A and B are shown apart, each in its own frame.
Chain A
Amino acid sequence: MAISVKEKRINDQQSLLLEGTYAVAYAVKLCRVKVITVYPITPSSAIAERLAEMVGDEELDAKYIKVESEHSAMASLIGASHVGVRTFTATSSHGLAYMHETLHWASGARLPIVMSNTNRSLGSPWSILAEQTDSLSQRDTGWIQFYCESNQEIFDTIIQSYRIAERVYIPAMINMDAFFSTHVLENIVIPSQEMVDSYLPEFKPKIKIDLNKPSAFGGVAPGDSYFEFKYKMEEDMLKAVDVAVKADNEFEEIFGRKYGIINCYLCEDAETILIMTGTAAGTGRVVIDNMRKKGKKVGLMKIRLFRPFPSRAIIDVLKNKIKIAVIDRNISRGVGGIFAQEIRAAFHNTKYHPPIFGFVAGLGGKDITPEQIENVLNYTIESDYPDREAYWLDIDV
């Protein structure tokens, strides 16, 4: 991994060839983040390294706390965010798991912290390669979660996330695949600071530490008030779906790029829809193209926003489809892939009940190949109903 290939200037100032980690760092810089804490972990470490350089070189005016653990990384941001400044951290896998307690605290305290997470397998046994079980294990911590496909999407989603998080006072986690994103060079369009500033105003929270109005934050909430706070938070979390849609539209107005909270490819006339997330969605599109050539009415839906779960948007697309296949690079032990479960749950109280086939693939960074994806679609088309929660690729199918 030679440093020289991580960043390469091309033609003009607006475009850089960046690895996913560096894309994150550049986005953070343009968001004028004030406090950064990163505890390095493979494969997100280069974020820590590049941000350290940026702060060291005074390219970025921020405090960078070189903490001793991910728990402290998130904790420090909780502190900084209470003061009312924009914050950022990056982690992955075990690091995210170690943050678990503080993730709850950050969302409960309604601090719009933004974090990038590199989806990486959890031990044991050790693996440092791609898998989404780490972030999906944190789905109940009250964080907004995005799953990104390309480095440009990662870059743009970081910027969007601050706008969303700071409007609803809920922290946001931007997920990307280990190595497939972090260590792959892509040409990234880097907007000017003015453009970003016009999209992302200075962070001015309504409630923050104020010496003139000494208050306690997060004290024991007696009686029903805890319940009421949680209700209020859920209201705002649900609101975040629309806020995210709006933020994406507004982003398009300034930057000319838009991602959608879900992204559909050839879905309109499709009978069978394949659902994928992250970098594997790109492979999925190639397969869709190939199968369309063979006359199969298939389409692909990429889910970008996972929390809050955009059920309505998803059902709107899927409601009249004949069959649905979901490939999950993650697993909730005992029920199968997590996206598949979420989609099944979304359908449950509707009148639409297409068969939903769940496939578990690519755990521990195992390749998800076009052949496998085609097998998944063919299996789904040929079978009436799934006979199990999840099929393991190459084992069951």
Chain B
Amino acid sequence: MNKRIFEIPEEDILCKGHMACIGCGVPLAMKFMLKGLGRKTILVVPASCNSVIDGTYPFSASGVPLVHVPIAAAAAIASGIRAGLDMIGDIETTVAAWAGDGGTYDIGFQALSGASERNENIIYVCYDNEAYMNTGIHRSSASPFLAWTTTTPLSSPKNVPKKNIDFIMAEHKIPYIATASIAFPDDFIKKFATAKNIRGMRFIHILIPCQAGWKTNPSKTVKIARLAVQTGIFPLFEIKSGKITLNYNEKDVPVEEYFKLQGRFSHLKKKDIINIQRDVDRNWKRIIKLTKVV
């Protein structure tokens, strides 16, 4: 009577007992990623939530080798590990950086951009929870327009939009870019499996709701991740050798449905939502247009 919705690999590499908050989406993403990449993977984790989630010395929940590194250094350290592996003749093992939005969009960006330009043979994963959550919900350049954070309090909301990291990465002309959502595990795992078999720099961007920072009900983590896709706020796509393909074509839910589950947007006014909806629609059209570029 098994009526599976998602067909995904059975084995869990990530171990129980990790330190993620109740309802955190990060271990889910990590779990899916490792299902896609397998045990021959080395993770590079810059300062971020996962520095805590993995557990404290002398323990680790990840199930694969994991190197903790300074926040700005992920892409460079991953490059170095790759170089070291190549020199000892291990060309099979995947090296994946697993960085938060701070370690990707902001302080880690120089190293990321450098590694991308060099087309390093690594996977760089940004698990984006749209603020420096581990430090205390501080604004990042991935924080959305008008979102509340502890450094963009209601008296001075974030008045600029989120950086479009995916297209910035696309301009580095790297072989593979994808966005992935924990609400679409089969698509998610497929993208990692695809990335694994491509040589060169691969960038995967995952939007992960943070119950503490987004002020949401922990049980809604996946639901909100799904709404981000359904509303077109976080479209699922792949850019392979410059060609963009949408993986989820239905943008059929108004952005308000996404906002209303999140305390960080509770101050949004009707006109704000209308403006954001317009921007989301515009971005969606742009992507649709790009998918038609041969």
Contact = CB atoms under 8 A, between A and B. Distances in A.
Interface of A: 34-35, 37, 61-63, 65-69, 71-73, 75-85, 87, 101-102, 105, 209-211, 214-222, 225
B57 interface: yes
Closest 5 CB pairs of A and B: A79-B80, A83-B84, A68-B114, A76-B80, A216-B60
A85 B87 contact: yes
Contacts of A83: 80-81, 84-85, 87-88
28 contacts: A35-B87, A67-B76, A67-B118, A68-B110, A68-B113, A71-B111, A72-B75, A72-B115, A75-B76, A75-B111, A79-B77, A79-B78, A79-B82, A80-B83, A83-B87, A85-B88, A105-B70, A209-B42, A214-B39, A216-B62, A216-B67, A219-B54, A219-B57, A219-B60, A220-B51, A221-B56, A221-B57, A222-B57
B65 A35 contact: no
Interface string B79-102: 111111111100001000000000
B113 A79 contact: no
B193 interface: no
A6 to B, nearest CB: 27
B80 to A, nearest CB: 3
A216 B54 contact: yes
Interface of B: 39-40, 42, 44, 51-52, 54-60, 62-70, 72-73, 75-88, 93, 110-111, 113-115, 117-118, 120
Contacts of B68: 216-220
A89 B26 CA distance: 35
A69 B79 contact: no
Contacts of B52: 220
B43 to A, nearest CB: 9
Given A67-B114, A219-B68, A209 B56 contact: no
Given A209-B65, A219-B60, A71 B88 contact: no
A76 B42 contact: no
A101 B57 contact: no
Contacts of A69: 110-111, 114
Contact of A68 (B39, B58, B83, B111): B111
A78 B120 CA distance: 16
Given A211-B93, A216-B67, A219-B68, 16 more contacts: A63-B86, A65-B79, A67-B79, A71-B73, A72-B114, A73-B76, A79-B69, A80-B84, A83-B84, A105-B73, A209-B42, A214-B60, A221-B56, A222-B57, A225-B57, A225-B58
B118 A79 contact: no
B84 A81 contact: yes
Nearest to A221: B57
B87 A62 contact: yes
B119 to A, nearest CB: 11
